[in-house]
Amino acid sequence: MKTIKCSQVGGGTCTFEASGETADEVRTKMGEHAQVAHADMVAKATPESMAEWNTMFDKLWAETASA
């Protein structure tokens, strides 16, 4: 299981954490959180910024040790 913090992927000082066994599981939890807690950022997202976020998330996922 791995845990990613919102603040690690562009969420400023947000303290939300998502945990899961797969990157897709955690990515889904982060997306659901962002829709509610960061609706303004989501509304401004472009396909390019989403691709950049996904690249950042994938790199972080690969570098994060399993707990």
Biggest CA–CA distance in the chain, Å, is 34
Q: Identify which of 22, 11, 8 has the alpha carbon closest to the alpha carbon of residue 57.
A: 8
Q: Which structural domain, as residue segments, surrounds residue 35?
A: 2-63
Q: For the chain, what is the domain count?
A: 1
pLDDT digits (tens, 9 = 90+) for 9-65: 999 999 999 999 999 999 999 999 999 999 999 999 999 999 999 999 999 999 999
Give the per-residue SS3 of the chain: CEEEEHHHHCCCCCCCEEEECCHHHHHHHHHHHHHHHCHHHHHHCCHHHHHHHHHHHHHHHHHCCCC
pTM over 0.75: yes
Q: What is the pLDDT of residue 67?
A: 84
